[in-house]
Amino acid sequence: MCKWFRIWFCFSFACLCAEAAQAQMNGPRRGRVLDALTREPVVAATVVLEGMPGGLYTDTSGQFVVPAQYAVRNAVLHVRSVGYASWSGALSDPSEELLILLEPAEHALSTVVVSASMKEVSKDASPIPIEIYTPQFFQKNPTPNLFEALALVNGVQPQMNCGVCGAGDIHINGLEGPYTMVTIDGMPIVSGLSTVYGLSGIPNSLVERIEVVKGPAGALYGSEAVGGLINIITRDALTAPRASVDAFGTSMGEWNLDGAIATRAGRAHTLLGVNYFHFQRRHDINGDGFTDIPLQQRLSAFNKWRFERPSGYFASLAARYVYENRWGGQLAWTPAWRGSDSLYGESIYTHRAEVIGKYQLPVEGWRVMLDVSWNVHDQDAAYGNTPYLGRQQVAFAQLTGNAAVGTKHDLLWGTALRYTDYDDNTPATEAPDGSGRNLPARMWLPGVFVQDEIALNARNRLLLGLRYDYNSAHGSILTPRLSWKWTEDAHHILRLTAGSGFRVANIFTEEHAALTGARQVVIAEDLKPERSWNANLNYTRKFFPKKAGFIGLDASLFYTYFTNRILPDYDTDPDKIIYQNLNGHAVSSGASVNADVNLLNGLKINTGLTAMRVYRVEEGERLPIFFASPLSGTWAVSYPVTRWKLTLDYTGTFNSPMPLPVVPNDYRPDRSPWFALHNLQVTRRLSNGVHLYVTVKNLFGFYPREDVLLRPFDPFNRYVEVDNPNGYTFDTAYGYAPVQRQRLFVGLRWAMR
């Protein structure tokens, strides 16, 4: 048994014993507030007891505690929450926990909203299958950023692509990161250059909820929404906690602090959030002489304003700034060696700024929204002795309108404009005439779209969507979408979705940092955007067993076909980089199932399983997609021990053998082994809304035993010709799992409503 597990076990046992010794029959009165339909906890519900000054609020598990001096038998209790009918009742037997079930009000559907259709509807009413995840879900497995948190989402895999600098992307159903569109409040903030390191700069404290759409969403969101969409909805300044703090430290030397304050200034509400992450301890458990994970210092500040206008319409403005200093490399490396060829290190400085605005226009009968965003990503990197200086700006504006037309049509229309400006210090952005002039890449992408949701009858709804874009490099692009939803009752929902997505490849990326010499960039005249065609069949089944709780099943069959893949050719001409469409296609197909179990005793189980077949065909040869596991799964099990104010969380993921990027005659396996990562957490509810949590991650200590780095003793490839018959060179792309053993997390979480 490992040292940290023994520490965690002793802490948990001590908490149990201490609380059991203090328990009294006539102590405070405890209660839980649940949704009457789903048995989900109702968070931040107001609890008022007649005779007691002030009020109480339910916590993240729906629980509240009435102080002993006010817990009088037959005292009247009132419970209220937005979106639910109010509840009133009397305190009964003090020896039992009071269970309160709130019935959703008629307007409750407007409180749980999604944006798969770019308008606010309930999850069940949406014709597009969508998954929603709240911060409470991710708190079961604490992480310093959104990139790591998404590992608990079934079918979504955060993948590290570099074993030295920790660059990564997000795969959906086995497809590489460039095919996943990541938006913030529906706007393409994270794209292009920022997908390399920008994902790790999104703190969890910024998130109100995360919406995941698996399959193309190009009909509404345009470029990059080829294989899926992850939409990050930021916290609303109007409904955010007045103050919140989440801080933890780990046994590896990681420190993370999230803090936020919300207040009101006249007719405006504002939210200010700050995240700081610090990790400066070098680890090398596999003995290759390199850091196992990159060292980082990151600061992120977020400020959001919501303005209520006299007309009843609203506007919001948000800004975020991120600074990060990360490096990985040989253990003896220091910043003094940055850019030299003496000791190998990969050092990246990132400065990033974002502005997001929303403005509701006063148009009678229509909900018309103007969305604007701008971001700049500035990167100063050194990969060994190769410098990379990249800067990207993305400006975006979108106008949408939504209204019911007659009794059967719900119409959505929109127009959007996206402008991307990219520049770097590599030959890829030099003028092709050989003059050495700098020639930044600039791209305009205007588009229009329309969508009609038709109520065929009480059970059937049909959604038709079409988008037209004109790309300054690729020309006209048309993307359609069709969805059909059948509802028998609240227990059965069937959805069939088919559509297309496209991606205008960002060919100017950091891969050019590896180039030496002056190469001319050649783009084929008939270059076409990458396209995808998808079909998805989804079935949702809900069970409401008497005196048991709620059970939900969500199953999907999916098939996606890709064409026109754009890849750089470095081999045809040593003086050129030739970009052209791949002569072939790629396929992602499979099935997934999610189960959600909520029992009245507080036991909650979320589990998912995805089986898929992912491959590409080039010149008639079928090839694997790297890091695409044919079978993967996730689980999250929670159980509250109300008597001792504890919550137990057991989470984890597993993967079957996946294809790995090996070189010719590689001595390393071309497939990973079966592996699973287990996490265990105990949360203790203290007074005044403070929660103490202790977590052991990777409980059984799995990490890759293979050489993650190829030839780490020769990172500058000086001795490739010495005792190296296979011609191996330094390579960092093999890692399939974190090179970390058990980690102990200790943290505090507090929120004031």
Which pLDDT does position 66 carry in this prediction? 85
- pLDDT band for position 380 (cuts 50, 70, 90): very high
Residues sharing a CB contact under 8 Å with residue 535, sequence separation 6 or more, in sequence order: 496, 497, 498, 558, 559
The angle formed by the CA atoms of residues 528, 532 and 538, to the nearest 5 degrees, is 170
Domain ranges in the chain with CATH number 2.40.170.20: 131-135+231-752
C-beta atoms surrounding 162 within 10 Å: 17
Which pLDDT does position 120 carry in this prediction? 67
Which pLDDT does position 547 carry in this prediction? 65
Please give the average per-residue pLDDT across 33-45, as a whole number. 76
Q: Say how many residues make up the chain.
A: 753
C-alpha 330/C-alpha 436 separation (Å) is 35
Please give the average per-residue pLDDT across 669-683, as a whole number. 96
Integer distance in angstroms from the first to the last C-alpha of the chain?
41
Q: For residue 341, what are the β-bridge partners?
A: none
For residue 375, which amino acid is it?
A: N
Please give the average per-residue pLDDT across 307-313, as a whole number. 75
Show the tokens assigned to 310: 């006299």
pLDDT at 439 over 90: no
Domain ranges in the chain with CATH number 2.60.40.1120: 3-108
Helix (H) or strand (E) holding 133: strand 131-133
For residue 162, which amino acid is it?
A: C
Among the listed residues 165, 344, 163, the one whose alpha carbon sits nearest the alpha carbon of residue 717: 344
pLDDT at 607 over 90: yes
pLDDT at 512 over 50: no
Average pLDDT over all residues of the chain: 83
Burial of 610 (0-12, 13-18, 19+ CB in 10 A): buried
Task: Let me know if domain 131-135+231-752 sits in CATH 3.30.565.10.
Answer: no
CATH topology of domain 3-108: Immunoglobulin-like (2.60.40)
- pLDDT band for position 363 (cuts 50, 70, 90): confident
Please give the average per-residue pLDDT across 279-304, as a whole number. 94
- pLDDT band for position 575 (cuts 50, 70, 90): low
Q: For residue 647, what are the β-bridge partners?
A: 640, 683
Q: What is the pLDDT of residues 162-192, one digit of tens each?
A: 888 888 788 888 887 778 888 888 888 777 6
- pLDDT band for position 593 (cuts 50, 70, 90): very high
Please give the average per-residue pLDDT across 542-568, as a whole number. 82
Which pLDDT does position 505 carry in this prediction? 66
pLDDT at 111 over 70: no
pTM above 0.85, yes or no: no
- pLDDT band for position 570 (cuts 50, 70, 90): low
